[in-house]
A and B are shown apart, each in its own frame.
Chain A
Amino acid sequence: MNSITKKLLETVAGWKGKWEGACSLRENGACVEMRSTRFVEIAPKEGLPGLDIHILPGCAGETVAVPACITDGGIDDLVYNDFHIAAGARATIVAGCGIHTENGEPARHSGIHRFFLGPGAQVRYVEKHAGSGDEALRAISPETEIYLEESALLEMDTAQLGGVGRASRSTKAVLAAGARLFLVERLVTQGREQAKSAFTVRLDGAGAAAELASRAVARAYSRQSFSSRITGNAPCKGHSACDALVSERAQVDAAPSLCARHAEAALIHEAAIGRIAGEQILKLRTLGLSQAEAEQAIIEGFLS
């Protein structure tokens, strides 16, 4: 593992020298480390690049790390990872991708992750993306599919931390009765970066609930577009909120939509886009912060 990989892993997966539980590290399109444990079985997928990860009954909160890194341009990585979580099992899954370019050639990572949670299973899914290096285009296309059976719970915390030139993000979820989905997405774009994020959530079972929150910061000439569609097919609750801070010549589009297919589907959406409030900056400046420090503190707080 070279120093670039180490740095990328620290950024996107909180790597501190070793993985405690089950893990699989993908570097420049190839698996370079893989470890299963008593409750987590990781195996290469047959016929496709990627993994089948089975989190077995009895798993009580183990962390599974499956990050990917690209350390130079000229690589177009595609990976299919399927996560099968047994009924009642609990786990934290850490994924994400770091891309570094320094030979002037573009690089891309497309991660297609599918989650199949059995009844009562609980997963916290943390996924971060970041880029670094020269002016070459760094692109990501994360696609996430989530299938929650009765009373399953998935908490997804996803973030794009900057340095990604193009991002096309797609998240789809289908929830059975009593299942719950909490999803927080944080996107930061700067320069001429572009990011597109689309959520599609179907609440099929009685008592299903989904909470989607997107926090976006768009600076310089960057562009972002956010769309969400929540469909309620049963007595259920769905809430989508998109907040965006825009500065300089950046642009953000937000298009939340709701589809009620049942009289007892309670669906709400909110979207707010604006620049950093001048009064917030002034207040922080009266506390001794400079204009730039105040803006940075506000953005960090907004994204936290």
Chain B
Amino acid sequence: MLEVRDISWQAPGGEQVLDRVSLHVKAGGFTAVTGPNGSGKSTLLKIIAGLERPAGGEILLEGEDISSLDVTARAQKGVCLAFQQPVRFKGFTVGRLLELAAGRTLSQEQACALLAQAGLCGREYLGRQADGSLSGGEMKRLEISTVLARKGRLLLFDEPEAGIDLWSFSGLVSVFKALKRQGGKSLLLVSHQERLLETADEILVLEKGRITEQGPPAKVLPRLSLSCPGCGRGEAVPL
């Protein structure tokens, strides 16, 4: 489904953030990426979504080279990204943002169902502003809802657990389990949380811009705490 070949990226200061990274996400598959802060995980997702341009390498979506396509074109081909830091919009209601994501008018029930999947319940949210009046956790769940609304083929999630409270975290794990169970979408998740990582089919460990471990959760997770301190060990949520 997604083929990333030899992607490299340098920060404006010259630091090599990604160094010939390659990965493969099967159709309907679920791949997770973990690694220490600064290892290039978020950059990798931004490059796949078209927000950053790599210095080298190519990206194929179902066999089509999308490396030269811009953000909009990739989104229209079904690539969806949930930002790590949700963007706030002055003047946008929650309902309006969901409709823009869905590309159509949504009934209250449809919009509420999308919010509920990410742990936001209640119709009162639909009329609220998607700005500073929502908490960080509420914005995070709205961000996830916008990706769910897209009905894309490749869903990219950048640390969806960040800012999510303990009670909602279990719901978040359920979201990913359900997405995996439903099939039809390919998932690429960046996370530090073991409970999220273990829902994936495969885990990649990224360190200093290179993939250092790769395999199923049962193989990779037990070795993480020894080989990569900080990987798969979120601090905010008890495992």
Main secondary structure of the interface of A (DSSP, over half): helix
User: How near does chain B come to A224, taking the closest CB pair, in angstroms?
Assistant: 18
Q: B100 and A289: CB pair below 8 A?
A: yes
Is B146 in contact with A287, judged by CB distance below 8 angstroms?
A: yes
B92 touches A283 (CB 8 A): no
Asked whether A182 is an interface residue with its Cβ less than 8 Å from the other chain, the reply is no
CB pair A287 B91 closer than 8 Å: no
Can you list, as one digit per residue, whether each of B199-215 has a CB less than 8 Å from chain A (1) or not (0)?
00000000000000000
CA distance A290 to B80 in the complex (A): 15
Could you say which of A285, A288, A290, A302 contacts B91, with CB atoms under 8 Å apart? A302
State A277–B86 Cα separation when bound (angstroms).
Answer: 13
Q: Are A298 and B89 in contact (CB under 8 A)?
A: yes
Q: Check if A243 is an interface residue, CB within 8 A of chain B.
A: yes
What chain A residues lie within 8 Å of B121 (beta carbons)?
none
Using CB atoms, name the residue of chain A closest to B51: A282
B229 at the interface (CB under 8 A from A): no
Closest 3 CB pairs of A and B: A301-B91, A283-B87, A285-B71
Besides A285-B71, A298-B89, 17 more A-B contacts (Cβ < 8 Å) are A215-B91, A277-B87, A279-B87, A283-B83, A283-B87, A285-B70, A285-B75, A286-B79, A287-B103, A288-B75, A288-B103, A289-B72, A301-B89, A301-B90, A301-B92, A302-B90, A302-B91
Can you offer 30 A-B residue contacts whose CB atoms are under 8 A?
A: A243-B90, A277-B87, A280-B89, A282-B51, A282-B87, A283-B83, A284-B100, A285-B70, A285-B75, A286-B51, A286-B71, A286-B75, A286-B79, A286-B81, A287-B75, A287-B100, A287-B101, A287-B146, A288-B72, A288-B75, A288-B76, A288-B103, A288-B150, A289-B72, A289-B100, A301-B91, A301-B92, A301-B96, A302-B91, A303-B91
